[in-house]
């Protein structure tokens, strides 16, 4: 269990004045996964399901002791550390907005420690933080018609925008199939299992599936249901994904969304060659296309 590091002396006024939102609820499905709910002082502008906002905390905000203090060591203490986060739920009112986020504590082994997430994990109810006044991003369901099929594939917290998009589609009476499939280490590493199961009860064309890589059936060859590590890419290539869905997504009717780990997406990156091992290459081989909002579209959001 990570330990809370003592906060430094009070932040300078300039940094505090940027804090424009209050934590209203925190749920931690695991020590390294958090559903964070915040209420902003002013309504958030430009929100559409799937979009992100910036979250920020001063470099001298309390931090859990998973690592060395990152940016705080090199930046002035008043410096705001900001990162992008997909909004997983959005509840607007005239006066303010309530937003929910699904956030992973980054704890990678590298010389460069994570900066913001150890501070986000030290937040408590009533803590103040910065939320960008406008939502941003093109990872939305633009062009999806009520009869289209929608397949939302994510790794880890890449599920966050899919929760928002699925909720928006189902609430609007979507008639086509909607499926959220999330790849995680263990079944406990998801934040919205209950919401998905509730939607499955109410919407006959909604499905939620979790693929794991660290459960006994993934690791123990002697396990009666041994299947090896299940990645979205391997589940697509082997056809296991279609068997789970009982449906083979067709580019004539289906929009595919990919979010999270860049290795899963394998997307063309301006500075790199396309990664053939990712989902984009597989989808393109099946006739799906980047750069359209028509059926057959591939949309993706890389988290790093």
Ligand X SMILES: Cc1cc2nc3c(=O)[nH]c(=O)nc-3n(C[C@H](O)[C@H](O)[C@H](O)COP(=O)(O)OP(=O)(O)OC[C@H]3O[C@@H](n4cnc5c(N)ncnc54)[C@H](O)[C@@H]3O)c2cc1C
| Binding footprint of ligand X on the chain (CB under 6 A) | 52, 70, 83-86, 101-104, 106, 108, 114-117, 137, 156-157, 160, 301, 303-304
Match 């060859």 to its residue by tokens. Answer: 221
Question: Facing residues of 4 across strands?
Answer: 64
Pairing assessment for the beta strands 89-92 and 97-104 based on DSSP bridges: antiparallel
Nearer to ligand X (CB atom), residue 57 or residue 148: 57
* Three-point CA angle 278, 48, 196, nearest 5°: 65
300 beta partners: 258
- Separation between Cα atoms, residue 209 and residue 213, nearest integer Å: 14
Residue 116 CB, nearest distance to ligand X (Å)?
A: 3
The length of the chain is: 304
Minimum CB distance to ligand X smaller for 199 or for 303: 303
**Nearest residue (CB) to ligand X, 60 versus 117:** 117
With tokens 């984009």, the residue in question is: 280
Please report which helix (H) or strand (E) contains residue 154, including its range: strand 149-155
Nearer to ligand X, 56 or 296 (CB): 56
What is the closest distance, in whole angstroms, from the C-beta atom of residue 266 to ligand X in the complex? 16
Query: Closest distance between ligand X and the C-beta of residue 122, in Å?
Result: 12
For 65, the token pair is 């002791």
Q: In the complex, what is the shortest distance from the CB of residue 237 to ligand X, in angstroms, rounded to a whole number?
A: 24
Residue 145 near residue 224 (C-beta atoms within 8 A): no
Least distance from ligand X to the Cβ atom of residue 154, Å: 10
Please identify, using beta-carbon distances, which residue of 22 and 84 lies nearer to ligand X.
84
**At closest approach, how far in Å is the CB of 167 from ligand X?**
15
Residue whose CB is less far from ligand X, 15 or 157: 157
Complex with ligand X: residue 157 or 218, whichever CB lies closer: 157
Q: Shortest gap between Cβ of 247 and ligand X (angstroms)?
A: 27
∠ CA 67-68-71 to the nearest 5 degrees?
115
CA 5 – CA 60 distance, rounded (Å):
11
Tell which residue, 244, 160, 238, 256, has the closest CA to residue 207.
244
């Amino acid at each position: 269990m990570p330990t809370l590091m003592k906060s430094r002396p009070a932040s300078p006024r300039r940094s505090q004045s940027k804090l424009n939102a209050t934590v209203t609820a925190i749920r931690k499905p695991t020590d390294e996964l958090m559903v964070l709910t915040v209420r902003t002082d002013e309504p958030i502008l430009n929100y559409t399901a799937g979009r992100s906002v910036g979250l920020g905390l001063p470099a001298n905000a309390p931090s859990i002791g998973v690592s060395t203090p990152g940016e705080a060591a090199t930046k002035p203490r008043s410096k705001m550390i900001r990162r992008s986060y997909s909004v997983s739920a959005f509840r607007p009112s005239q006066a303010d907005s309530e937003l929910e986020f699904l956030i992973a504590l980054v704890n990678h082994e590298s010389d460069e420690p994570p900066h913001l997430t150890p501070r986000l994990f030290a937040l408590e109810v009533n803590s103040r933080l910065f939320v960008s006044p406008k939502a941003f991003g093109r990872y939305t369901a633009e062009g999806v018609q009520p009869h289209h099929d929608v397949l939302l594939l994510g790794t880890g917290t890449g599920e966050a925008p899919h929760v928002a998009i699925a909720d928006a589609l189902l609430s609007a009476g979507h008639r086509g199939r909607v499926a959220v499939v999330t790849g995680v280490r263990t079944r406990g590493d998801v934040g919205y299992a209950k919401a998905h199961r509730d939607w499955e009860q109410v919407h006959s064309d909604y499905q939620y599936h979790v693929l794991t890589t660290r459960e006994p059936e993934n690791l123990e060859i002697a396990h009666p249901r041994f299947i090896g590590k299940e990645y979205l890419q391997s589940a697509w290539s082997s056809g296991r994904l279609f068997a789970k869905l009982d449906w083979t997504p067709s580019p004539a009717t289906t929009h595919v969304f990919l979010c999270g780990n860049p290795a899963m997406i394998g997307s063309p990156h301006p500075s790199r060659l396309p990664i053939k091992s990712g989902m984009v290459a597989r989808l393109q081989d099946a006739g799906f296309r980047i750069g359209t909002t028509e059926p057959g579209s591939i949309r993706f959001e890389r988290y790093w």
